[in-house]
Structure 1
Amino acid sequence: MSRIGKKEILIPENIEVIIKDSNVSVKGKKGELSYKFSQLIEINKINNKIQLKKRIETKQSKSIYGLSRSIINNMILGVSIGFEKKLSIHGVGYRSQIEGNDLILNVGYSHPVRIEPPENIIIKVENSTNIIISGINKEVVGQIAAKIRSIRPPEPYKGKGIRYIDEVIRRKIGKAGK
């Protein structure tokens, strides 16, 4: 039994939640999100709370019960507060910059790497080595951050590459000389 799925979701005052069949749309000061959920989950809005129930006790309904609650909660948090991921670039000569809306990375390749953010995603660069990705959809913010990190993941010998701010890289020792 999912402990996460059982929890009620509190709706803040400035957030509007509309539930139509299995479609849930959430409007807030930062924007609007909508998501179509499975028919196996029943979503009820009671005053300023949202409750989820399984319509049928099957393995699939059990597996998406907690997930559905987490997605709705993240939608509410996204339109009220927003999400952000911070990346850091380490390495001699590695830097980043913003050109228009695009992020341009110089990370040791023969050419600069250009990344176009999807709509509703904002990319900022601080002092050419720190990148901040922010938006209202947690899934898209995390996906863009992972895409940027995958361009030059941190390597274990010198620690060069793009990493999350709070990420710890396990360092290896180099060759043992004779």
Structure 2
Amino acid sequence: MSRIGKQLIPVPATVKVSVNAATKRVDIQGPKGKNFFVFRPEVVVAFDEKTKMISCSVDDMERIDEGNRRAYWGTTRAVLNKMVKGVTDGYSCKLEVIGVGWTAKLQGKKLVLSIGFCNPIPLMVPDTVTCTIDNNTIITIAGVDSQQVGAFASLIRSQRKPEPYNGKGIKYSTEVIQRKKGKAFGA
């Protein structure tokens, strides 16, 4: 059996869950926002109102090893668990802009990066994500969907990845840059 798929997902009292078996859609709404997930036809998702638990299973246990049923089962459970966590606590990611004169500014729903190129780089902030800036160098991205938070953080970082010689670039706050030595003169 799938060790992840068979685990139940506890749902806090502040979260509402609705499962539509016909359209294979789960809607989860909580204090931070709402999210939905469309699951595979091989997986069965059920929500028990009394125990406030979400359970996942495979439609036909005798054919569990055919195709990717076991993988779909575990993935569905993991995604639903992250959704419950997202609507209750939310997800956030911090980025640091490191470089002399390099800044990040927010202009409405547009993030403008001045990172050493001749023109500033404008990036549209998605509707599902909120973005705040501290000291013009620390960018905080928050939202209920961890995939969208991570994707937008990755897009920002990809504009100027940190380089190992001077350490300049845009990096995650938890990331450690392996520094390299430059050329040695006077050998």
TM-score of the aligned structures, taking structure 2 as reference length: 0.91
Deviation at 1:2, TM superposition (A): 3.0
Structure 1 CA distance for aligned equivalents of residues 157 and 149 of structure 2? 12
Matched with 2:32 is 30
Q: Counterpart in 2 of 1:73?
A: 81
- Alignment-mate amino acid for residue 126 of structure 2: P
How many Å separate the matches in 2 of 1:156 and 1:2?
Answer: 41
Q: Which residue of 2 aligns with 1:133?
A: 141
Q: Which runs of 5+ in 2 are unaligned?
A: none
Distance 1:161 1:92 in 2: 10
Matches within 5 A, 1:98-137: 98-137=106-145
TM-superposed CA distance for 1:32, in Å, is 1.5
The root-mean-square deviation of aligned C-alpha atoms, in Å, is: 1.1
Aligned to 2:12: 12
Q: Which runs of 4+ in 1 moved over 4 A?
A: none
Please state if 1:52 is matched with 2:52: no
Q: Which has the larger radius of gyration?
A: 2
CA distance in 2, matches of 1:76, 1:49: 11
**Take 1:39 and 1:133, find their aligned partners in 2: how far apart are those partners?**
33
Partner AA of 1:112 in structure 2: P
How many correspondences in the alignment? 178
In the TM superposition, what is the alpha-carbon distance from 1:114 to its structure 2 partner?
0.6
Distance 2:53 2:90 in 1: 20
Give the secondary structure class of the aligned counterpart of 2:55.
strand
Q: What is the TM-score with the length of structure 1 in the denominator?
A: 0.96
The superposition leaves residues 122-161 of structure 1 with CA deviations (integer Å, 9 ceiling, x where unpaired) of 1100001100001111110000000000000001111100
Return 5+ residue gaps in structure 1 as ranges: none
Q: Distance in 1 between matches of 2:139 and 2:3?
A: 35
- Paired residue for 1:89? 97
Q: Identity of counterpart residues, as a percentage? A: 35
Q: AA paired with 1:151? A: Q
